[in-house]
Amino acid sequence: MTKGPIYLHVGTPKTGTSYLQDVLFGNRDRLASQGLLYPADRFDGQFLAALDLMRLPWGGLEKEAVGAWDALATRVREWDGPVIISHEILATAKPADVTRALASLGHPEREVRVLASVRDLVRQIPAEWQENVKHRRGIRYGSFLEQIQDPERPGKIAPWFWDAQDVPAILGRWAADLPADQVTLITVPGPGAPRDLLWQRFVEAFGLADYKFELFTERANPSMGVPETALLRRLNRAATKVVPPAHYRVLVRELLAHRTLALRTDSPRLGVPTEVWAWADALARGWIATLQERGYGVVGDLADLTPAPAKTEYADPDRPRERQVANAAVEALTAVLVEASRLREVEADLRAELAEARAALHKAELPFKERSKVRAYEFASKRAWGRRAIERYKRSQGPA
């Protein structure tokens, strides 16, 4: 019997992947009962597998990823029906990682279809910079733009950016051993398109039309505006050294960025300056020609990769309007104060519980004689004559 195909979704970041993965994870049992496997036991299960495949340290999370790819591949090989594997970080896989991944999934005996969801660079560039800012970096937007346009790809940011965003290169690595008809591009519609159009494209590309599932999501990766991102960048420069990464994740990325600053939707949105727009437009046209030449399948339209003309004036996050930044800062401070108040209440509760537990332990453990000794010691240690007596007693008893 021929086994179902493996849909291997390898990126790119910021193309609706979180929503797709959330829906698939939330419906994984229902889909499995209909014959489709989404192999993950936790929402980030496939992310961990990707970290393991690429030996990618991720702030300590990689400790939870030991053996995750092999475990995933085993489940996939044992499943007879179609399978979906999806994580955008797979875009950065190197040729050796790709070879290992495909072999472990049973390729070439088992059919593997590689899919990549893609979006125009003019929306990807600011989104990537914002992700960098949300991961403790303090780089200015201008420097970020310079680095990613530099053909030498200096520093850490540019190599990662292009590993994750250079669509022809990503598919060149992942589809080197696959026929073109087993490779599909899903384009993210341009601004102003119907909200569910991208989802319809995912349904078509992954062959989900015949399956029943519920559309809901619990996780979101919302975007911030210009003053909010500028504020967070300044905060990073001041606080990164004094706030450990584990606390940063909870207090800055989750509390400030996602739950506070991203809710301010009236502020100017991030974009790119005119000259970067022109550069991205030229690059996109080259990519489109390359991708057309390779003959990959397309769900959507390759023209979606060319940037839409800017509708609003460019707002530079390196020179934001200070009043807007100040307003965002007040909201951020308020959120931090609310959280600090909550934590103080938790601390007070815990202290009370600890005192109760100590008292109970004291009462339960010490017999009368010992309790009397403790009381006598406490009484004596508060008086000079008592302390002298304690010293004499200790010396007479020898080593501690």
Partner 1 sequence: MSAMPERPTPQQYVARLVVEAGARTAGHDAPAVGAQAVERLLALVEAASVPGRGTEYSAPLRLASGLLADLLLQRDPGPGEHRPVTWPRFRRKGVLVLGPHGAVRATRLANGLVGEEPPRPDQVVVLGLPLDEALADVWSGHVWQGENRTWGGMVSSLAARDRIPPRADAASIAARWSRIVGKDRVHLVTRPGTTPGITRAPFRVVHPPVTAAAIELVRATSSTLGILTDSATQTRVLEGVLRPLLEGDAGPRPRVQPELVPWLERRAAGVARRAAAGGYALHGDPADLAPGGTGSVTWPGSADAQAATLAVAVRTLLAICEETP
Nearer to partner 1, 237 or 344 (CB): 237
Point out which span in 55-63, 126-134, 246-254, 285-293 binds partner 1 (CB under 8 A).
Answer: 55-63
Point out which span in 79-87, 94-102, 108-116, 322-330 binds partner 1 (CB under 8 A).
Answer: 94-102
| Cα angle 202-286-281, degrees, rounded to a multiple of 5 | 80
Report whether the peptide linkage leading into residue 12 is cis, meaning its omega lies within 30 degrees of zero.
yes
> Which x/- pattern, by CB under 8 A, does the window 154-193 give for partner 1?
xxx--xx--x------------------------------
Identified binder of partner 1 from the candidate list 35, 41, 42, 57, rule CB under 8 A: 57
* Three-state secondary structure call for residue 185: strand
Residue 66 Cβ, how far from partner 1 at the closest point, in Å?
6
* DSSP letter, residue 40: -
Identified binder of partner 1 from the candidate list 4, 16, 56, 386, rule CB under 8 A: 56
154: its two tokens: 């200096």
25 by Cβ neighbours in 10 Å (0-12 / 13-18 / 19+) ranks as buried
Residue 163 Cβ, how far from partner 1 at the closest point, in Å?
8
52 touches partner 1 by CB under 8 A: yes
Find the distance separating the first CA and the last CA of the chain, reported in whole Å: 76
63 touches partner 1 by CB under 8 A: yes
* Strands of the 112-118 sheet, one edge to the other: 83-86, 6-9, 112-118, 183-187, 297-299
Is residue 121 within a helix (H) or strand (E), and if so which, with residue range? Answer: helix 121-134
Strand partners, 184: 115, 297
Strand partners, 118: 187
387 touches partner 1 by CB under 8 A: no
Residue 135 Cβ, how far from partner 1 at the closest point, in Å?
12
Residue 239 Cβ, how far from partner 1 at the closest point, in Å?
9
The size of the interface with partner 1 (CB under 8 A), counted in residues, is 28
153 touches partner 1 by CB under 8 A: yes
Nearer to partner 1, 57 or 286 (CB): 57
Identified binder of partner 1 from the candidate list 2, 179, 214, 242, rule CB under 8 A: 242
97 touches partner 1 by CB under 8 A: yes
Question: Residues near 77 by Cβ (< 8 Å), separated by ≥ 6?
Answer: 104, 105, 106, 110
Residue 252 Cβ, how far from partner 1 at the closest point, in Å?
16
Question: Residues near 79 by Cβ (< 8 Å), separated by ≥ 6?
Answer: 3, 4, 37, 39
241 touches partner 1 by CB under 8 A: yes
Point out which span in 153-161, 208-216, 316-324, 340-348 binds partner 1 (CB under 8 A).
Answer: 153-161
Residue with tokens 């015949």: 210
Residue 390 Cβ, how far from partner 1 at the closest point, in Å?
11
Point out which span in 58-66, 77-85, 254-262, 274-282 binds partner 1 (CB under 8 A).
Answer: 58-66
106: its two tokens: 């049973």
Point out which span in 5-13, 63-71, 128-136, 273-281 binds partner 1 (CB under 8 A).
Answer: 63-71
How far, in Å, CA of 259 to CA of 134, rounded? Answer: 13
Nearer to partner 1, 120 or 163 (CB): 163
Closest CA to 146 of 384, 356, 372, 318: 318
Residue with tokens 């390898």: 10
How far, in Å, CA of 206 to CA of 120, rounded? Answer: 21
Query: Which residues contribute to the site for partner 1 (CB under 8 A)?
Result: 51-52, 54-57, 60, 62-63, 65-66, 92, 94-97, 153-156, 159-160, 163, 241-242, 394, 399-400
